[in-house]
Amino acid sequence: MKTPTAFFKPLAIGAPVPFREKPVRVERMIHFVPPQIEKMRAKVPALIDKVDVILGNLEDAIPADMKEEARAGFIQMAQDNDFGDTGLWTRVNCLNSPWLLDDITQIVAAVGNKLDVIMLPKVEGPWDIHYLDQLLAQLEAKHRVETPIMIHAILETAEGVNNVEAICGASPRMHGVSLGPADLAASRGMKTTRVGGGHPGYRVLGDIQEGVERAIYQQDLWHYTMAKMVDACMAHGLKAFYGPFGDFSDPEACEAQFLNSFLLGCMGTWSLHPTQIDIAKRVFSPEVAEVKMALRILEAMPDGTGAVMIDGKMQDDATWKQAKVIVDLARQVAV
Ligand code: GLV
Ligand code: MG
């Protein structure tokens, strides 16, 4: 389904916000499909009802000699399926690769009216978004694409992180930004070979105490970037996403990483493996107990002002807005 999401406004900004009339599309997981593999394309109809977004991946993880097959496979899968309310995205190759221009021109020509979002990797600054924006404008006019195709940037270079605010504000086509921890680690010279998640060496030690085993606290490698990305996105009315979690053998760590990002303000994540779909669905939907508490706050302060006590805790205009974020999300998820 094509629904413009560029003007998605985060909730709880400024004074009490009126309840939104139309639900905003829920995008808890962007599910990656390698479209050059026929067996994977055959699974798409069954996936459509299970995921919020299906993405045909053309970039990293697709071998150089399979790029054309992946592009053709994506076009095929877009033509063969009715995606209903499920979003259809593609991750194209990066701007300085030999494949990007063909990715964009061929895909927009063939399935521009079905494609919701183009995920652009390795975005370094607003100039990258301007280029794609103009290219899309030309191709949309040429091929009579009725709804603008949105752009989603991956934040995965040190320069991109430096310029994240300008990237977010570069075009009204901007849909959101995902963290790309694998490429970002390489770009920054971090010493890891993992795709997202933590590292046992990145930790702080508790104090030495006589007769007590020394505590070790592993730290979140991505906290700084994620917070910076969320602020930049929210300031421009975009959605922030965590990205890939590569250790499929550790669903608990995957869930913890997703949850950190959800609590920090991200709206969704990538699912690279079927087992990550349910994890993402669970994590990026608010918990029933949280929703009940949030409803109590809204009910206790009908006009969103003043201060009340609930279970010994002070609530005021600010917690009213926090509650509104949770209740609005619960409503969107329930649609
Ligand atoms: C994703 O593309 C990443 O590099 O983490
Ligand atoms: Mg990457």
- pLDDT value, residue 8: 37
Buried/exposed code over 4-39 (b: 16+ C-beta within 10 A; e: otherwise)? ebbebebbbeeeebeeeeeebbbbbbbbbbbbbeee
Place of tokens 């400024």: 14
What are the angstrom distances between the C-alpha of 30 and each of 126, 240, 252, 270? 23, 12, 19, 5
Mutation probe of ligand 1 site: the residue of 59, 60, 242, 272 with most atoms within 8 A of C-beta: 60
Q: Is 68 annotated as a binding residue?
A: no
Query: What amino acid occupies position 62?
Result: I
Q: What is the pLDDT of residues 228-268, one digit of tens each?
A: 999 999 999 999 999 999 999 999 999 999 999 999 999 99
What are the angstrom distances between the C-alpha of 84 and each of 35, 87, 123, 276? 19, 8, 30, 22
Q: Answer whether 183 contacts ligand 1 (Cβ < 6 A).
A: yes
Q: Is 82 annotated as a binding residue?
A: no
* Secondary structure letter of residue 64 according to DSSP: G
Q: What percentage of residues in the chain have a pLDDT greater than 90?
A: 92
Tokens of residue 68, six digits: 């054309």
Q: Is 91 annotated as a binding residue?
A: yes
* 329 Cα: distance to centroid of ligand 2 (angstroms): 29
- pLDDT value, residue 76: 98
Q: Answer whether 34 contacts ligand 1 (Cβ < 6 A).
A: no
Q: Is the ipTM of this complex over 0.90?
A: yes
Is residue 10 very low, low, confident or very high in pLDDT (cuts 50, 70, 90)?
very low
* 261 Cα: distance to centroid of ligand 2 (angstroms): 18
Distance, CA of 211 to CA of 102 (rounded, Å)? 66
Q: What is the pLDDT of residues 23-65, one digit of tens each?
A: 458 999 999 999 999 999 999 999 999 999 999 999 999 999 9
pTM: 0.92
* 270 Cα: distance to centroid of ligand 2 (angstroms): 12
Query: What amino acid occupies position 287?
Result: E
Q: Answer whether 243 contacts ligand 1 (Cβ < 6 A).
A: yes
Kindly state the greatest CA–CA separation across the chain.
75
Q: Answer whether 160 contacts ligand 1 (Cβ < 6 A).
A: no
Is residue 335 very low, low, confident or very high in pLDDT (cuts 50, 70, 90)?
confident
Q: Answer whether 55 contacts ligand 1 (Cβ < 6 A).
A: no
Q: Beta-strand (E) ranges in 172-231? A: 174-179, 203-205, 216-218
Average pLDDT, the chain: 93
Note the helical H segments in 62-201.
Answer: 67-80, 100-111, 126-143, 158-162, 164-168, 181-188
Atom 3 of ligand 1: nearest residue by CA position: 180
